[in-house]
């Protein structure tokens, strides 16, 4: 008899949730690469999964999930030491999580997903390619002299506060706080730094060091609340490179095995098994 497991993907718009799911479905359905978890069957319509995975194979931008296209996927999996189990993964829109920040409310079905969750994957995207920082400290420091000058100039109107000015890490902590207010369960939280290929370098260090150094508030929240959760940080490159750069996209398409595009780093270990974060959430040491 299969044991049910419910994982919740959370993250802001563009954080990599749907791209991860597309790469995961390719790996599980292809079955040509050794992975910790293997697919036995899929329940329901696979049209959505095939659509996003087709885009992934083409190295095209995987369409983001919006409030009108939210999907819930049930995968029947097995793995050594895990037995057989049913894995439910709702692909919820990042916009829905943003509503929690802007309107301080959550929909009933999102609340139901949270209360049923046995594990959480929190996605965050460094977005260094676009020059945006996860922490706004450096930007604020650079703009401080101009801000002081504008304040002294009475002709300059002060802009009303907006949630858009919140640092990325503050928004992520808010999402986690909402989550723990909705459940009494002790959870495992896998933090996935998406597009790891954009920032991976010797001076960056492993993913947990990146979060500790670049998102200290998020890191402190995770560590300080170890009575509510266990957590591990993964660096995941689901696309394998920057597909907006023609040369990189061409190189990815020329790979003999598309599975080698995927890179997953935990601590000092790097491999191609995209099921690793899920296996850890299910109890792997």
CA–CA dist 279, 5 (Å, integer): 11
Residues 241-250 have pLDDT tens digits of: 888 888 889 9
Residues 253-276 have pLDDT tens digits of: 888 788 889 999 999 999 999 999
Q: Which residues pair with 263 in a beta bridge?
A: 237
- Taking the CA atoms of the chain, what radius of gyration do you get in angstroms? 20
Predicted confidence band at 238 (pLDDT cuts at 50, 70, 90)?
Answer: very high
Domain ranges for the chain: 3-281
- Residue 239, classed as helix, strand or coil, is coil
Name residue, tokens 């931008």: 61
11-48 burial by CB neighbour count: b if 16+ within 10 A, else e? bbeebbbbbbbbbbbbbbeeeebebbbbbeebeeeeeb
Predicted confidence band at 7 (pLDDT cuts at 50, 70, 90)?
Answer: confident
Q: Which residues pair with 7 in a beta bridge?
A: 119
User: Tokens for 102?
Assistant: 């802007």
Say what the pLDDT of residue 111 is. Answer: 76
CA–CA dist 235, 247 (Å, integer): 23
E-only strand ranges, the chain? 3-10, 38-43, 71-79, 83-91, 119-124, 187-194, 229-237, 263-266, 269-271
Note every long-range contact of 67-71, with CB atoms under 8 Å and residues 24 or more positions apart, other chains counting.
Answer: 67/93, 67/95, 67/96, 69/93, 70/96
pTM of the model: 0.82
Residues 122-173 have pLDDT tens digits of: 999 887 434 344 444 556 556 666 655 555 555 555 666 666 667 888 888 9
- The CATH number of domain 3-281, selected from 1.10.8.620, 3.40.50.1980, 3.40.50.2300, 3.40.50.300: 3.40.50.300
Residues 20-35 have pLDDT tens digits of: 989 998 998 887 778 8
Say what the pLDDT of residue 174 is. Answer: 85
């Amino acid at each position: 008899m299969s044991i049910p497991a419910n994982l919740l993907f959370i993250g802001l718009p563009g954080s990599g949730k749907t791209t991860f799911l597309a790469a995961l479905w390719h790996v599980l359905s292809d079955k040509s690469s050794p992975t910790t978890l293997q697919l036995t069957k899929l329940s329901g319509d696979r049209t959505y999964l095939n659509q996003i995975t087709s885009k992934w194979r083409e190295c095209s931008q995987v369409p983001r999930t919006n409030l009108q296209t939210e999907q819930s996927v049930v995968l029947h999996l097995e793995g050594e030491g895990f037995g057989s189990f049913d894995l439910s993964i709702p692909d919820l829109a990042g916009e829905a999580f943003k509503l929690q920040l802007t309107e301080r409310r959550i929909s009933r079905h999102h609340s139901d997903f949270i209360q049923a969750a046995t594990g959480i994957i929190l996605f965050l995207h460094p977005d260094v390619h676009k020059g945006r920082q996860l922490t706004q400290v450096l930007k604020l420091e650079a703009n401080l002299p101009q801000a002081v000058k504008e304040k002294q100039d009475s002709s300059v109107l002060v802009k009303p506060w907006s949630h858009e000015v919140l640092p990325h890490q503050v928004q992520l902590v808010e999402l986690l706080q909402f989550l723990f207010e909705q459940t009494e369960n002790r959870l495992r939280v896998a933090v996935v730094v998406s597009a790891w290929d954009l920032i991976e370098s010797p001076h960056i260090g492993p993913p947990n060091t990146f979060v500790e150094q670049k998102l200290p508030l998020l890191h402190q929240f995770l560590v300080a609340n170890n009575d509510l959760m266990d957590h591990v940080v993964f660096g995941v490159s689901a696309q394998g490179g920057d597909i907006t750069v023609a040369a990189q996209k061409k190189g990815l398409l020329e790979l003999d095995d598309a599975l080698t595009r995927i890179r997953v780093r935990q601590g000092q270990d790097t491999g191609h098994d995209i099921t690793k974060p899920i296996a850890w959430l299910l109890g792997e040491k």
